[in-house]
Amino acid sequence: MPSLYHLQRRSVVISRLLYRIGERQLEKLLKPVYRLRAELGLPRGAQPLLTGQHSPTLVLALFSIVLAKPQPDWPPNTHVTGFPFYDRRDFFGETELQPELSKFLDAGPPPIVFTLGSSAFWVAKDFYRDSIKAAESLGQRALLLIGHERNLPRESLPEGVAAFEYAPFGEVLPRARAIVHQGGVGTTGQALRAGRPTLIVPHAHDQFDNAARVVRLGCARQLARPRYNARSATRELASVAGTAGVCAPGC
């Protein structure tokens, strides 16, 4: 609800009132947590979503100092770890790219990689169709990481466009001409490490904040999800994919 953000900025009193309303509503949702703590003989504790989520011993901030430097209002025992880079192959022991994917990457110039990370692909809608049109308009190859077969366009893919449900970001993103992603913290870290020009299309949660931070670094442009279509994606990517240099801030 972006309107609430602008409302909060107008007054500290309004901001505190909105937080109190939110806290009361969350209390209803958290009753099962409090019941479980009681059954285990534990005190009720602080409200776990707004005030009681930090450990008194150690708080790990699982992102790079490039994305956010320690702030005065952080818990004093916070340690910034850097991004915990993770590819699914790290768990399953896969050591090579899929042969079809390697063949596609080797067959032409670097493609624009379009991905919605590990969660936003469930609400992809026309994201991948619009992305194909944008890549075609720019005369660029495209690699679609669709997350699930439901997102595979029904029509045949144009020449120079390939779609896979999954690919390890650590291997694929450094080989991209540009990257379009949803701004999740894991994908954001991988894109920064790859050092490629990026367009971020945030959907929810921390993605808006991540996008704003990367834009401030000069490593990306941002486009609101409701405004993402073939025309707007073409316009933004014409700027992003044409970037002469790359951003490699050392995450």
| 3-state SS string for the chain | CHHHHHHHHHCHHHHHHHHHHHHHHHHHHCHHHHHHHHHCCCCCCCCCCCCCCCCCCCEEECCCCCCCCCCCCCCCCEEECCCCCCCHHHHHCCCCCCHHHHHHHHCCCCCEEEECCCCHHHHCCCHHHHHHHHHHHHCCCEEEECCCHHHCCCCCCCCCEEEECCCCHHHHHHHCCEEEECCCHHHHHHHHHHCCCEEECCCCCCHHHHHHHHHHHCCEEECCHHHCCHHHHHHHHHHHCCCCCCCCCCC
Is 65 a domain residue? yes
Same domain, 40 and 155: no
| Matching residue, tokens 């409090």 | 34
130 and 228, same domain (yes or no): yes
pLDDT at 53: 80
CA distance 115 to 131: 10
The encoded tokens of residue 171 equal: 């291997």
pTM over 0.85: no
Residue with tokens 């008194």: 56
For residues 188, 190, 196 and 200, what is the CA-based torsion angle, rounded to 10 degrees? Answer: -20
Q: Are residues 129 and 173 in the same domain?
A: yes
CATH of the domain at 226: 3.40.50.2000
| Contact yes or no for 203/123 (Cβ under 8 A) | yes
pLDDT at position 176? 96
Same domain, residue pair 41 and 105: no
Q: What local confidence, expressed as pLDDT, does residue 97 receive?
A: 80
Question: Identity (one letter) of the amino acid at 88?
Answer: R
Domain count, the chain: 3
Same-domain pairing of 146 and 36: no
The pLDDT of residue 196 is 94
185 and 234, same domain (yes or no)? yes
Spell out the per-residue pLDDT of the chain, length 251, in tens: 667 777 777 888 888 888 888 888 888 889 999 999 999 999 998 888 877 788 889 999 999 999 999 999 899 999 999 999 888 666 655 556 889 999 999 999 999 999 998 888 888 899 999 999 999 999 999 999 999 898 888 888 999 999 999 999 999 999 999 999 999 999 999 999 999 999 999 998 899 999 999 999 999 999 999 999 999 999 999 988 665 444 654 55
pLDDT value, residue 90: 62
**Helices 12-29 and 31-39, axial angle in degrees (round to 10):** 60
User: Does 89 map to a domain?
Assistant: no
Range of the domain at 62: 54-84
Same domain, yes or no: 47 and 58: no
Together in a domain, 25 and 149: no
Task: Provide the residue type at 144 as one letter.
Answer: L
For residue 82, the model assigns a pLDDT of 94
Looking at the structure, do residues 47 and 79 belong to the same domain, yes or no?
no
